[in-house]
């Protein structure tokens, strides 16, 4: 039976969900028509998946009823994972921004005449998709940072 | 207890600070790659330029900011004065001395271009037409001006949100204005407001009576828009009401003619001013037209001050000396080049597609469809479309005048046949041509007479012509002399497909002559331009044996008539006028196919056989237009001919070229790594001997120090900004735009005043026909570079105007290669004399913007050498041109930037050009590839934003743009790396010979550099501290509890 979870656990779950959503938005963005079709970003999926696995591990570890030194060790491991997750998500976001900057520059900043050529509906929606991707990842990273503050163990009554 | 609460806080803080540190570390790297863009955006400077004032080799001609500004304004006014062309002047309508005017037409109150940008400086002291008239004391009808300015145009500013920053920016806007962007072969609305709308828009009823008809001249001004990526389409005109009319967008529309009619109704005389870089069709208002007007003048595209000069001419302050740079015809479909325009797909273009079999992109599907200038959507080679330039050398007047000549001298040629005739069943020059190339009326009566001509037939020899100008009027004045020549058209030429124009423009000059006096002016031109290219037999330049006729004339048609008369023809044989001037004959006894078969030590022979479609199809698919048979060879539209790549015996080679596989990286010859031998790019190592001679061993040793990674990286990512190379320490050089001058704003330190020096008008420079003016402008442009401390710009356009429809014609000079050649010579030499690198655009047949990013342009080698390339030859071979931008399109099937015959054999070899060679905008990595560009001789690739000298900006050390190369791959191809170093050698040599070596740049930390560093250190320190604290707090509390 799944016992009642602390607020911290729920929050970490939210982070995991946000990460998954980011990866989905990313997948949609690079498979849809438009400027960024096929434009995969190195390591993005890798970091995202590792972050999700780490969050899963954290949630699982928090379910374990252990005490003593083992518990200390688990807390350290869990804590380190919870510090690593926002770092990974931040790196994923930075990778994404770096890969997309030139393309976005083209779409928004070309000189007037070229702009007309580049701003097709498909490209604009692709650009919006990529920006949404960045926002999702950014939110996941920030939430992950906040999540690191919360205790995972429900306070014993 | 506290510990328990504190531990999670520490952990949370650790997570935050660690993330921030990761962000700032990786972010700093990325920011460095976009340094120039960020600097632009934030207004910071990462490089401080230290000018060594004492030893600077290039010093501005102007000591003060006021002087520099005055020089810029002065040259712009001169362009207006010298470039205004009086095309028609009946009933003494011009000059306007003492008369009042009423201005009609949207462009009268907002001349093109009105928005500041690349082609207009927009300084606060700019003068438009209305102000120029008023300043000159001409009374401008107030009623018409009021309802136009307030009712129709209603100039105002609009707040438009900047799409990226969201900041509101002010832009000039009008309620009614002509369309400034033709679009990409789509419909074009000629938005001129017809008089039937005037009262609806605020004209007071009975406004016509507010014009004093007898004493007012109506001036109607009409404009056409232009721009990068824009191309007009024949038959695409839309009227004011929004209906498609099926008319030519460059012809005067019904609405515009209605405005003219209204002007004729309300004013005693009417003058039409043409404000456009695209040649317009004026049959309705020319002599015999249904809406014939008294006067027509060409005023080009106006920048900040040209209107002052234009008005000086219109009011008669100075004599009119401008001439037309293009032939004005009655119907654009009479133009041979228009028969092959726009381009279209091969029947089986998809055979080029890759379904993962391109070894460079395994597994990637790559198509072969058209893409924009940026190739952003589906991966595509963009090699599916083509155009066949079957007209050969017969562009513009060379077609019309030669066919006219043949209709008289060679009637068997079919010159008078129906082929190409648009006005009747038989082609007739005077039906098809309204105004000839070189046409321009002078207010003051004068004659020009060619007194003598001397032809020095050596490799570097010149033709020296002395022209006498006699001022038959009672006023002092300035006059234009134009020199033309006819080469003999012999049986040899007929047998070997060497085409000759009946007349060719060589050069021109202006001279001041006192009333009633005669002055002599000497015009020179390198003799090599008199030779023709024989691509089928001699395979080099030849000078046929026979009589060469030279004449000075006020236009190409007058020149042909002078020559016909000298050859014994009269109006009885069909000449439309008597000869006006003298002809000098030079005779060559025997054919010379050796003198011009060598140039600068390089053998001159066929290099562009593969630019000919017939080479690929191995069939006489294309029949080139020849004057032997005007009727039978009138160009077919080869886009309506089914061309199958797979039918060609050379299909494999063809597909490979269309895929860009011009060169394939080799494996097995290890490149030498660059090591520091202590040489540097500075004035101690580079002395006079090194500056003067690129063969000096110093240069090879210098570039030998460049590492493999940087040698390749600096070429393939070197656009936007040339960065400092390790072991070289060359200063950073930023590239700038544009064709009207530097677009960057100058801020005066003392007053804080800002000013922009891009005040030039390329159209008016062209129609000035004055190469000295071109030099003077080049020098001003160069001076402005020294003031701005910017040393490299893409500062002039020299592409041939093959048809009137190209949306960028306003950046170019003319349909004629020699006029462009001489203007290019002047501008580039002027800049070079100030140490500024001015790279002309776009070398190599960028004749249309439509699908410029991949279209195959097919032609024979005579056209290749004698048309567009000749436009660039003056500036790059004859002058000290130091930079060039290569065209976006293909030459034949090969990307122009991969085309070694043009870049290595002709540019480096025959022309001995030692400057830098840049691509156009690189944003399709399937169309451009690094190995082909390097081997072709490119010294820098213009990629959009990244400033980097390395291959490894991508994953795992591979290149971010071309993932199939990394340092390891290229290290195994010594030829590739050596060529990259060789290309950079030219670039460094050129920088050393320019004002770049006046200065050294120092990298300084900007505030954002410091901010990023601070964040990294602080967050790093905090991360460590909070992590440690969390660990300790997590481990500790249990012990305390137990103790209790």
Query: Averaged over B165-193, what is the pLDDT?
Result: 89
- Provide the pLDDT for residue A117: 74
Query: In chain A, whose CA is at the least distance from the CA of B7?
Result: A149
What is the C-alpha to C-alpha distance for residues B90 and B113, in angstroms, rounded to an integer? 29
B781: nearest Cα among B839, B729, B695:
B839
- B228 interfacial to chain A (CB closer than 8 Å): yes
Judging by DSSP bridges, how do beta strands B328-329 and B433-435 pair with one another? antiparallel
Q: Are residues B849 and B960 in the same domain?
A: yes
The mean pLDDT of chain B is: 93
Nearest to B376 among A123, A150, A151 (CB): A123
> Quick check: is B574 in a domain?
yes
Q: How confident is the model at residue B53 (pLDDT cuts 50, 70, 90)?
A: low
Please say if the pLDDT value at position B1004 is more than 90. Answer: no
Which is more confidently placed, B32 or B542?
A: B542
The answer to whether the CB atoms of A113 and B22 lie below 8 A apart is no
Mutate which: A31, A78, A90, A131, vs B, most B CBs within 10 A: A90
- B1026 interfacial to chain A (CB closer than 8 Å): no
Query: Averaged over B266-276, what is the pLDDT?
Result: 97
Please say if the pLDDT value at position A38 is more than 80. Answer: no
Q: How confident is the model at residue B922 (pLDDT cuts 50, 70, 90)?
A: confident
- Provide the pLDDT for residue B578: 87
The answer to whether the CB atoms of A87 and B227 lie below 8 A apart is no
Q: Are residues B998 and B1008 in the same domain?
A: no
Q: How far is B27 from chain A (nearest CA, A)?
A: 7
> Quick check: is B802 in a domain?
yes
Please say if the pLDDT value at position B946 is more than 60. Answer: no
B349-368 pLDDT, tens digit per residue, is 999 999 999 999 999 999 99
Domains in chain B, number: 4
Lowest mean pLDDT among A94-103, B156-165, B362-371, B428-437: B156-165
Q: Are residues B24 and B96 in the same domain?
A: no
Q: Which two tokens stand for residue A124?
A: 């604009």
The answer to whether the CB atoms of A118 and B955 lie below 8 A apart is no
> Quick check: is B603 in a domain?
yes
> Quick check: is A157 in a domain?
no
Q: How would you class B1008 by CB atoms within 10 Å of its CB: exposed for 0-12, middle for 13-18, buried for 19 or more? A: middle
What is the C-alpha to C-alpha distance for residues A78 and A73, in angstroms, rounded to an integer? 8
Task: Specify the residue for token string 């020294």.
Answer: B786
B981: nearest Cα among B675, B601, B664:
B675
- Provide the pLDDT for residue B149: 96
* Alpha carbon of residue B647 to chain centroid: 37
Contact (CB, 8 A) for B374 and B228: no
- Provide the pLDDT for residue B20: 93
Q: Residues of chain B with pLDDT > 70: what percent?
A: 96
Contact (CB, 8 A) for B534 and B542: yes
Query: In chain B, whose CA is at the least distance from the CA of A82?
Result: B15
In CATH, what number is assigned to the domain containing residue B191? 3.40.50.1700
B485-529 pLDDT, tens digit per residue, is 999 999 999 999 999 999 999 999 999 999 999 999 999 999 999
Query: Averaged over B74-92, what is the pLDDT?
Result: 98
Query: Averaged over B55-61, what is the pLDDT?
Result: 85
- Over the range B841-880, which residues count as b (16 or more CB within 10 Å of their CB) and which as e? bbbbbbbbbbbbbbbbbbbbbbbbbbbbbbbbbbbbbbbb
Domains in chain A, number: 1
Q: What DSSP string describes B951-995?
A: S-SSGGGB-SS-TT-BHHHHHTBHHHHHHHHHHHHHHHHHHHTSG
Q: Are residues B226 and B276 in the same domain?
A: yes
Q: What DSSP string describes B580-602?
A: -S-EEEEEESS-B-SGGGEETTE
Please say if the pLDDT value at position B600 is more than 70. Answer: yes
Query: Averaged over B1014-1043, what is the pLDDT?
Result: 81
Q: How confident is the model at residue B947 (pLDDT cuts 50, 70, 90)?
A: low
- B182 interfacial to chain A (CB closer than 8 Å): no
Could you tell me the residue range of the domain that residue B550 belongs to? 442-607
Which of B551, B583, B607 terminates a domain? The answer is: B607
- B705 interfacial to chain A (CB closer than 8 Å): no
What is the 8-class DSSP label of residue B281? B
The answer to whether the CB atoms of B12 and A118 lie below 8 A apart is no
Nearest to A82 among B11, B372, B378 (CB): B11
Q: Are residues B160 and B262 in the same domain?
A: yes
- The interface predicted TM-score (ipTM) is 0.91
Q: Which two tokens stand for residue B1021?
A: 């320190």
> Quick check: is B679 in a domain?
no
Q: How confident is the model at residue B919 (pLDDT cuts 50, 70, 90)?
A: very high
Which of B304, B319, B334 terminates a domain? The answer is: B319
Which is more confidently placed, A73 or B805?
A: B805
B202-219 pLDDT, tens digit per residue, is 999 999 999 999 999 999
φ/ψ (deg, to 5) at B738: -160, -170
- Provide the pLDDT for residue B955: 63
Q: How confident is the model at residue B1036 (pLDDT cuts 50, 70, 90)?
A: confident
Q: How confident is the model at residue A157 (pLDDT cuts 50, 70, 90)?
A: very low
Contact (CB, 8 A) for B345 and B385: yes
Going by C-beta distance under 8 Å and a sequence separation of 6 or more, which residues neighbour residue B960? B946, B953, B954
- DSSP H/E element including B822: helix B817-833
Q: How far is A3 from chain B (nearest CA, A)?
A: 22
> Quick check: is A156 in a domain?
no
Please say if the pLDDT value at position B261 is more than 60. Answer: yes
Please, which residues bridge with residue B450 across strands?
Answer: B467
Q: How confident is the model at residue B98 (pLDDT cuts 50, 70, 90)?
A: confident
In CATH, what number is assigned to the domain containing residue B872? 3.20.20.300
Kindly calculate the radius of gyration of chain B based on its CA atoms and give it in whole angstroms.
31
Virtual torsion, Cα B982, B985, B987, B993, nearest 10 deg: -150
> Quick check: is B58 in a domain?
no
- Provide the pLDDT for residue B903: 98
Q: How confident is the model at residue B54 (pLDDT cuts 50, 70, 90)?
A: low
- Provide the pLDDT for residue A1: 47
> Quick check: is B26 in a domain?
yes
In CATH, what number is assigned to the domain containing residue B466? 2.60.40.10
Q: Are residues B216 and B133 in the same domain?
A: yes
- B321 interfacial to chain A (CB closer than 8 Å): no
Q: Are residues B996 and B1016 in the same domain?
A: no
Q: Are residues B791 and B919 in the same domain?
A: yes
Q: Are residues B983 and B1033 in the same domain?
A: no
Q: Residues of chain B with pLDDT > 90: what percent?
A: 84
Q: Are residues B1008 and B996 in the same domain?
A: no
Query: Averaged over B937-966, what is the pLDDT?
Result: 81
- Provide the pLDDT for residue B72: 97
> Quick check: is B153 in a domain?
yes
Task: Specify the residue for token string 């290019």.
Answer: B824
B279-318 pLDDT, tens digit per residue, is 999 999 999 999 999 999 999 999 999 999 999 999 999 9
The answer to whether the CB atoms of A113 and B954 lie below 8 A apart is no
Query: In chain A, whose CA is at the least distance from the CA of B41?
Result: A109
Nearest to A87 among B12, B19, B117 (CB): B19
Query: Averaged over B422-451, what is the pLDDT?
Result: 97
Could you tell me the residue range of the domain that residue A131 belongs to? 7-147
B window 339-378, beta carbon within 8 A of A: 364, 372-374, 376-378
> Quick check: is A115 in a domain?
yes
Q: Are residues B126 and B113 in the same domain?
A: yes
B443-486 pLDDT, tens digit per residue, is 999 999 999 999 999 999 999 999 999 999 999 999 999 999 99
Length of chain A: 157
What is the C-alpha to C-alpha distance for residues B956 and B968, in angstroms, rounded to an integer? 12
Q: How confident is the model at residue B164 (pLDDT cuts 50, 70, 90)?
A: low
The answer to whether the CB atoms of B374 and A113 lie below 8 A apart is no
Q: Residues of chain A with pLDDT > 90: what percent?
A: 36
- B37 interfacial to chain A (CB closer than 8 Å): yes
> Quick check: is B899 in a domain?
yes
Please say if the pLDDT value at position B346 is more than 90. Answer: yes
- Provide the pLDDT for residue A156: 47
Which is more confidently placed, B731 or B545?
A: B545
Contact (CB, 8 A) for B465 and B483: yes
- Provide the pLDDT for residue B1: 52
> Quick check: is A64 in a domain?
yes
> Quick check: is A152 in a domain?
no
Query: Averaged over B731-735, what is the pLDDT?
Result: 90
Which is more confidently placed, B453 or A33?
A: B453
Judging by DSSP bridges, how do beta strands B295-298 and B269-275 pair with one another? parallel
Tell how many helices (H) and how many strands (E) occur in chain A.
5, 0
B window 80-119, beta carbon within 8 A of A: 117-118
- B1034 interfacial to chain A (CB closer than 8 Å): yes
Q: Are residues B955 and B934 in the same domain?
A: yes
Q: What DSSP string describes B846-909?
A: ---STTTTT-EEE--HHHHHHTHHHHHHIIIIIS---EEEB-SSEEBTEEGGG-HIIIIIIIII
Which of B607, B637, B664 terminates a domain? The answer is: B607
Q: How confident is the model at residue A68 (pLDDT cuts 50, 70, 90)?
A: confident
């Amino acid at each position: 039976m799944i016992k009642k979870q602390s607020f911290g656990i729920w929050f970490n779950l939210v982070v995991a969900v946000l990460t998954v959503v980011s990866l989905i938005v990313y997948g949609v963005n690079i498979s849809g028509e438009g400027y960024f079709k096929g434009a995969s970003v190195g390591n993005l999926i890798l970091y995202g998946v590792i972050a999700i696995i780490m969050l899963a591990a954290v949630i699982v570890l928090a379910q374990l009823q252990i005490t003593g030194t083992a518990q200390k060790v688990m807390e350290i491991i869990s804590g380190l994972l919870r510090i690593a997750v926002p770092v990974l998500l931040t790196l994923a976001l930075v990778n994404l921004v770096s890969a997309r900057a030139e393309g976005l520059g083209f779409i928004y900043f070309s000189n007037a005449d070229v702009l007309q050529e580049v701003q097709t509906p498909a490209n604009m929606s692709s650009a919006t998709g990529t920006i949404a991707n960045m926002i999702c990842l950014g939110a996941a990273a920030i939430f992950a940072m906040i999540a690191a503050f919360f205790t995972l163990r429900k306070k014993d009554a | 207890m506290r510990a328990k609460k504190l531990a999670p806080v520490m952990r949370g803080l650790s997570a935050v600070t660690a993330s921030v540190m990761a962000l700032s570390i990786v972010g700093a790297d990325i920011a460095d790659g976009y340094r120039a863009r960020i600097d632009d955006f934030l207004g910071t400077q990462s490089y401080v330029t230290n000018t060594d004032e004492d030893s600077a080799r290039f010093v501005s001609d102007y000591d003060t900011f006021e002087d520099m500004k005055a020089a810029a304004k002065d040259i712009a006014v001169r362009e207006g004065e010298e470039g205004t062309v009086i095309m028609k002047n009946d009933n003494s309508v011009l000059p306007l001395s003492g008369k009042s005017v009423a201005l009609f037409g949207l462009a009268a109150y907002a001349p093109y271009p009105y928005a500041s940008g690349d082609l207009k400086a927009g300084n606060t002291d700019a003068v438009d037409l209305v102000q120029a008239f008023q300043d000159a004391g001409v009374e401008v009808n107030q009623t018409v001006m009021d309802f136009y300015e307030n009712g129709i145009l209603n100039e105002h500013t609009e707040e438009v949100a900047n799409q990226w920053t969201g900041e509101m920016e002010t832009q000039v806007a009008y309620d009614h204005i002509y369309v400034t962007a033709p679009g990409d072969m789509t419909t074009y609305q000629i938005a001129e407001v017809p008089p039937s709308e005037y009262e609806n828009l605020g004209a007071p009823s009975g406004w016509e009576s507010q014009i004093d008809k007898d004493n007012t001249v109506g001036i109607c001004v009409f404009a056409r828009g232009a721009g990068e990526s824009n191309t007009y389409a024949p038959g695409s005109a839309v009227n004011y009401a929004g209906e498609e009319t099926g008319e030519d967008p460059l012809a005067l529309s019904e609405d515009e003619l209605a405005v003219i009619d209204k002007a004729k109704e309300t004013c005693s005389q009417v003058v039409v001013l043409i404000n456009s870089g695209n040649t317009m069709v004026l049959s309705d208002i020319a002599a015999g037209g249904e809406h014939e007007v008294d006067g027509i003048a060409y005023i080009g595209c106006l920048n900040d001050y040209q209107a002052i000069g234009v008005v000086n001419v219109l009011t008669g302050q100075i004599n009119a000396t401008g001439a037309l740079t293009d032939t004005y015809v009655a119907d654009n479909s009479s133009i041979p080049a228009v028969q092959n325009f726009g381009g279209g797909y091969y029947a089986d273009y998809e055979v080029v597609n890759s379904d993962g079999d391109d070894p460079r992109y395994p597994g990637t599907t790559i198509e072969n469809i058209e893409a924009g200038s940026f190739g952003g959507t589906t991966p595509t080679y963009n090699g599916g479309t083509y155009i066949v330039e079957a007209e050969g050398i017969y562009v513009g007047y060379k077609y019309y005048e030669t066919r006219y000549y043949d209709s008289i001298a060679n009637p068997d040629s079919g010159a008078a046949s129906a082929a190409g005739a648009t006005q009747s069943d038989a082609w007739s020059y005077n039906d098809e041509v309204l105004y000839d190339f070189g046409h321009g009326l002078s207010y003051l009566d004068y004659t020009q007479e060619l007194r003598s001509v001397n032809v020095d037939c050596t490799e570097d020899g010149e033709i020296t012509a002395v022209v006498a100008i006699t001022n038959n009027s009672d006023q002092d004045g300035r006059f234009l002399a134009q020199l033309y020549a006819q080469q003999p058209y012999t049986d040899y030429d007929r047998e070997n497909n060497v085409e000759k124009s009946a007349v060719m423009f060589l050069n021109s000059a202006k001279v001041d002559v006192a009333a009633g006096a005669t002055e002599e002016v000497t015009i020179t031109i390198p003799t090599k331009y008199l030779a023709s290219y024989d691509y089928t037999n001699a395979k080099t330049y030849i000078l046929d044996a026979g009589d060469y006729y030279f004449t000075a004339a006020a236009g190409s048609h007058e020149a042909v008539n002078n020559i016909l008369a000298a050859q014994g023809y009269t109006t009885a044989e069909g000449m439309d006028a008597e000869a006006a001037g003298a002809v000098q004959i030079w005779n060559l006894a025997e054919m010379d196919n050796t003198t011009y078969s060598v140039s600068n030590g390089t053998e001159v022979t066929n290099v562009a056989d593969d630019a000919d479609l017939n080479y690929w199809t191995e069939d006489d698919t294309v029949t080139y237009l020849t004057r032997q048979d005007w009727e039978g060879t009138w160009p077919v539209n080869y886009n309506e001919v089914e061309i199958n790549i797979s039918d060609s015996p050379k299909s494999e080679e063809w597909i490979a070229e269309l895929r860009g596989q011009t060169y394939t990286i080799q494996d097995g010859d290890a490149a030498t790594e660059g090591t520091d031998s202590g040489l540097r790019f500075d004035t101690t190592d580079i002395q006079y001997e090194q500056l003067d001679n690129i063969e000096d061993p110093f240069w090879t040793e210098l570039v030998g120090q460049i590492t493999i990674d940087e040698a390749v990286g600096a070429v393939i990512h070197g656009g936007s900004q040339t960065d400092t190379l390790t072991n070289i320490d060359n200063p950073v050089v930023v590239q700038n735009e544009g064709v009207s001058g530097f677009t960057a704003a100058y801020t005066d330190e003392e007053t804080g005043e800002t000013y922009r020096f891009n005040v030039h008008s390329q159209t008016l420079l062209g129609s000035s026909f004055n190469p000295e003016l071109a030099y003077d402008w080049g020098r001003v442009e160069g001076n402005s570079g020294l003031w701005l401390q910017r040393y490299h710009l893409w500062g002039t356009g020299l592409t041939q105007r093959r048809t009137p429809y190209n949306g960028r014609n306003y950046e170019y000079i003319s349909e004629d290669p020699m006029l462009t050649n001489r203007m290019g010579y002047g501008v580039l030499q002027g800049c070079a004399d100030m140490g500024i690198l001015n790279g002309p655009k776009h070398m190599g047949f960028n004749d249309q913007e439509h699908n410029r990013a991949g279209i195959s342009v097919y032609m024979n080698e005579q056209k290749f050498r004698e048309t567009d390339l000749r436009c660039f030859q003056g500036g790059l071979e004859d002058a000290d041109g130091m930079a060039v931008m290569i065209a976006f399109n293909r030459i034949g099937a090969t990307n122009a930037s991969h085309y070694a015959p043009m870049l290595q054999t002709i540019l480096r070899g025959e022309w001995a050009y030692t400057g830098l060679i840049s691509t156009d905008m690189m944003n399709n990595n399937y169309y451009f590839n690094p190995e082909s560009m390097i081997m072709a001789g490119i010294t820098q690739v213009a990629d959009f934003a990244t400033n980097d000298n390395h291959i490894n900006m991508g994953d795992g050390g591979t290149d971010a743009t071309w993932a199939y190369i990394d340092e390891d791959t290229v290290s195994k191809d010594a030829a590739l790396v050596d060529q990259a170093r060789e290309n950079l050698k030219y670039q460094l040599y050129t920088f050393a010979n320019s004002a770049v070596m006046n200065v050294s740049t120092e990298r300084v930390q900007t505030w954002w550099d410091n901010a990023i560093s601070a964040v990294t250190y602080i967050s790093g320190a905090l991360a460590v501290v909070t992590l440690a604290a969390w660990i300790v707090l997590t481990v500790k509390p249990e012990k305390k509890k137990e103790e209790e």
